[in-house]
Structure 1
């Protein structure tokens, strides 16, 4: 078979002439290059697609989730020398030690009441929140604000958080009042938080200052705001509730 093919080429190629033979060779060479180029395209496309998918996965895994601590001077870290001593910053340290991809945002404002919180919640919720800690109401109690107003304002905040994202996990932090506010008022005040937690089916911290409130050496000279050591205990109390919510 090969002998016959060689004879065919030997007999016919001279008939093409030198000019035509040269053009014929260019045509065959170009055709071979095009065929080789086309053969590489599928593998190049697959490689590019695979790399794109890997990049997309990497970006997805780098998305940071947000924990927002929304409160008053307790959350803000009033009176501390450094904001890193406040309980939200200590929560961040605990999270970082576990290598979890969460950012804790301190949205505490000294002197804030439940009404003030209700007014600024819309602005705060412009960002995506995965876990929302609500720590407000203490200043309401110290000012003798009607409990119905406090409960209504806290409910409004919870509603707005859920309206923004139903999947946001809400934690309600309760507060206790000093005895000089009267037994009836302090008892009813305590019930505001437990009732809201039950009605909204949210996670509940009965007293965010557990083990700290009323203990002189853990509070500043005003007897209300925790020291740096006191904030470590507050962080531990909050951590017990937040930790089970965190995902790798």
Structure 2
């Protein structure tokens, strides 16, 4: 009997891509939370990495074009038969230059979910997991880029969770991860990737 492989699309920004805050390069497969998740779930699952540094929910960042989440998700949906979609976005939307309130960012989450639901028939709709915003702590050199971020994080977490409940989705609150950030206060360190993969594997196996 042929085993059916369940495909999981992990759609996010540089923390999904696996940016190493200490080197500025990419973590290898032994460290990225996406690949660690794949290892923990085993051969029944295949994780598709769809991380892109600077990806946003709301706006296209200057000079980088096709990074808006809603615009760039569709090609993945067309290419793969998915069982689960993990959405890990929102951090880049906190940047000062976008001047977005938590409600603006949350509205884009609902638009992204609606776009996914409209793409599929009800019978084919994958399970959707929403990862809450990363509780960043920008260090000197980056703090001006994320000016006033601390006023937005807690309300944004509440809004993300509320949206997940309204749509009947699975919500992962990562505010309780222990010391997950590297020296820049923005990107997950090795331990953060490990903790996130373990948390997500528990959620996936319960679906």
Question: TM-score normalized by structure 2?
Answer: 0.76
Cα deviation, 1:166-220, whole Å, max 9, x if unaligned, reads 331011110144577366433322222012112111011122x6324xx2xx432
2:33: which partner in 1? Answer: 87
Q: Distance in 2 between matches of 1:153 and 1:172?
A: 13
Aligned counterpart for 1:228 among listed residues 190, 194, 201: 190
Gaps of 5+ in 2: 21-25, 59-67, 138-146
Within 5 Å, which residues of 2 pair with 1:27-106? 58=1, 61-79=2-20, 80-96=26-42, 100-106=43-49
Within a 5 Å distance, the mapping from 1:16-35 to structure 2 comes to none
- In terms of Rg, which structure is larger? 1
CA pair 182-141 structure 1, distance change in 2 beyond 3 A: closer
Secondary structure at the counterpart of residue 85 of structure 1? coil
Distance 1:190 1:77 in 2: 22
Aligned to 2:23: none
Show the counterpart of 2:128.
170
Q: Is the 8 A contact 2:94 2:149 kept in 1?
A: no
Q: Distance in 1 between matches of 2:173 and 2:190?
A: 21
Consecutive unaligned residues in structure 1, runs of 5 or more:
1-57
Supply the RMSD in Å over aligned alpha carbons: 2.2
SS in structure 1 opposite 2:187? coil
1:237 has 2:199 as partner: yes
For normalisation by structure 1, the TM-score amounts to 0.65
- 1:151 alignment partner in structure 2: 106
- 2:148 alignment counterpart: 181
Structure number with higher relative contact order (C-alpha < 8 Å, ≥ 6 residues apart) = 2
Q: Is the 8 A contact 1:121 1:160 kept in 2?
A: no
Which of the two has greater helix per residue? 1
1:223 Cα offset (Å): 1.9
